């Protein structure tokens, strides 16, 4: 049977090892998560930049169409 002092000694030796293992496992999981989030953020940024370019192009086309084919004025 383990005594309180035996348990305390085991804690002193085992707890830091367990903490290190948990930190390592969490770091690996977080690294994977950060990689996924970084990729997703990059895709969102690219999408937004493309939307800005498309918006500008659409605006230019609309302006040109209005110059070439002015809208009919209502009476």
16 domain-assigned: no
CA 9 to chain centre: 43
The domain in which residue 29 lies consists of 25-61
Q: Quick check: is 36 in a domain?
A: yes
| 69 in a structural domain | no
In a domain, 3, yes or no: no
Residue 75 lies in a domain: no
| Total structural domains within the chain | 1
pTM equals 0.52
Distance CA 11, CA 56 (A): 65
Query: Is 20 contained in some domain?
Result: no
Is there a domain that residue 11 lies in? Answer: no
Per-residue pLDDT of the chain (75 residues; tens, 9 = 90+): 889 999 999 999 999 999 999 999 999 999 999 999 999 999 999 999 998 888 888 888 777 777 777 766 544
CA pair distance 54, 59, nearest whole angstrom: 8
Tell me, yes or no, whether 10 lies in a domain. no
Residues 5, 16: Cα–Cα separation, whole Å: 17
């Amino acid at each position: 049977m383990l005594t309180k002092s035996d348990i305390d000694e085991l804690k002193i030796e085992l707890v830091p090892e367990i903490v290190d293992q948990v930190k390592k496992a969490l770091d690996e999981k977080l690294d994977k998560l950060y990689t996924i989030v970084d990729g997703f953020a990059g895709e969102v940024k690219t999408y937004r930049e493309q939307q800005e370019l498309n918006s500008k192009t659409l605006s230019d086309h609309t302006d040109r169409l209005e110059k070439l084919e002015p809208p009919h004025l209502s009476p």
